[in-house]
């Protein structure tokens, strides 16, 4: 579950948090480019139109600040679950590994606050000015870094280029699926439907990752490798 960020704030930090929360909601509803900085300032109750620029400098910096604000708490849970999996000797169990990695994100569907963040990251994913996996890795979150390595290892003999590309597909599919589901359901109240959706999504991403690599894909990889070697 998403932890509450409400605690004693200095005036400066309180303003920064208000801007982050306002931007997260507006971006999730209207898209990154569908919202002006002036609208975010107004939604955050800031009369000073330069407040957002003072705290973040630019819209891309604001987007990354929102991601860090939420992702830090999510990653703490991810690390705890990966640690528990390690203690149980289950790091080679790909389904258990995917559950430990993605459930902290999927569980956000249970709260309105979590749904807002899911809708926000879906907008980031679909915006050509951002690359969500790269932004997530740039945040240097230990849980994400560790999970990426464990997933690649669990895929065994799969060519690393294919494994890494599938992981990108996996992030895109998971985030998009969560956002679409949240717009079709009352995520906070439809617990049985939510549980079925999450269980089936985990089944799907497991099957997606472990699908056999076809001869066509291997041939395409060889051609790409040869082309790169010639440069």
Rg (CA), the chain: 19
What distance in Å separates the CA atoms of residue 208 and residue 210, rounded to the nearest whole number? 6
- Mean pLDDT, the chain, whole residue set: 88
pTM given for the model: 0.85
What distance in Å separates the CA atoms of residue 62 and residue 55, rounded to the nearest whole number? 9
Domain boundaries of the chain, sorted by first residue: 70-211
Q: Which of 4-8, 40-44, 197-201, 214-218 has the lowest mean pLDDT?
A: 4-8
* CA distances for 222 relative to 63, 153, 162, 204, 219, angstroms: 37, 21, 11, 28, 5
Task: Find the mean pLDDT for residues 157-170.
Answer: 90
Using alpha carbons, select from 46, 49, 58 the residue that is nearest to residue 17.
46
Q: Which of 19-33, 38-52, 90-104 has the lowest mean pLDDT?
A: 38-52
């Amino acid at each position: 579950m998403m932890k509450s960020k409400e605690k004693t704030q200095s005036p400066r930090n309180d303003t920064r948090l208000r801007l982050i929360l306002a931007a997260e909601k507006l971006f999730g509803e209207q898209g990154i480019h569908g919202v002006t900085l002036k609208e975010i300032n107004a939604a955050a109750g800031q009369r000073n139109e330069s407040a957002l620029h003072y705290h973040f400098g630019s819209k891309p910096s604001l987007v990354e600040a929102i991601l860090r604000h939420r992702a830090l708490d999510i990653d703490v849970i991810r690390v705890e679950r990966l640690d528990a999996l390690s203690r149980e000797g289950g790091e080679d169990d790909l389904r258990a590994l995917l559950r430990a990695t993605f459930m902290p994100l999927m569980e956000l569907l249970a709260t309105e606050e979590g749904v807002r963040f899911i809708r926000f990251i879906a907008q980031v994913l679909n915006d050509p000015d951002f690359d969500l996996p790269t932004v997530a890795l740039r945040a240097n979150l230990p849980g994400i870094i560790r999970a990426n390595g464990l997933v690649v290892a669990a895929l065994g003999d799969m060519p690393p280029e294919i494994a890494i590309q599938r992981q990108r597909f996996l992030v895109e599919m998971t985030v998009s699926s969560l956002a679409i589901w949240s717009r079709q359901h009352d995520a906070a109240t439809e617990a049985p439907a939510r549980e079925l959706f999450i269980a089936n999504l985990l089944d799907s991403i497991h099957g997606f990752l472990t699908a056999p690599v076809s001869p066509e894909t291997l041939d395409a990889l060889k051609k790409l490798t040869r082309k790169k070697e010639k440069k």
